[in-house]
Amino acid sequence: MLRSRTRRDRRARHLKRLQRLAGLVVLIPGTVLCALLVLFPSGQAIGRANHRVWEIFQALFGWLPYAEAFTAHRLEMVWNIVMFVPLGLGLALLLPRWWWVAVLHFTSVGIETIQLVLYSSRQSSAVDVVMNATGGIIGVGAGIALDRWRRSRSGAAASASNAEGSSGGRASASGAHPPSA
Domain range enclosing 127: 2-166
pLDDT at 27: 92
On whether residue 125 sits in a domain, the answer given is yes
Give the pLDDT confidence of 100-144 residue by residue, as tens digits.
Answer: 999 999 999 998 888 888 877 777 889 999 999 999 999 999 999
Domain count within the chain: 1
On whether residue 132 sits in a domain, the answer given is yes
Closest CA to 107 of 23, 46, 34: 34
On whether residue 178 sits in a domain, the answer given is no
On whether residue 120 sits in a domain, the answer given is yes
Closest CA to 53 of 37, 36, 70: 70
Alpha helical stretches, state H, the chain: 2-39, 43-61, 72-94, 100-118, 126-166
Res. 177 pLDDT band, cuts 50 70 90: very low
On whether residue 96 sits in a domain, the answer given is yes
On whether residue 179 sits in a domain, the answer given is no
Give the pLDDT confidence of 29-68 residue by residue, as tens digits.
Answer: 988 988 887 777 666 777 788 888 888 888 888 888 888 8
On whether residue 175 sits in a domain, the answer given is no
Distance of alpha carbon 81 from alpha carbon 50, whole angstroms: 14
On whether residue 19 sits in a domain, the answer given is yes
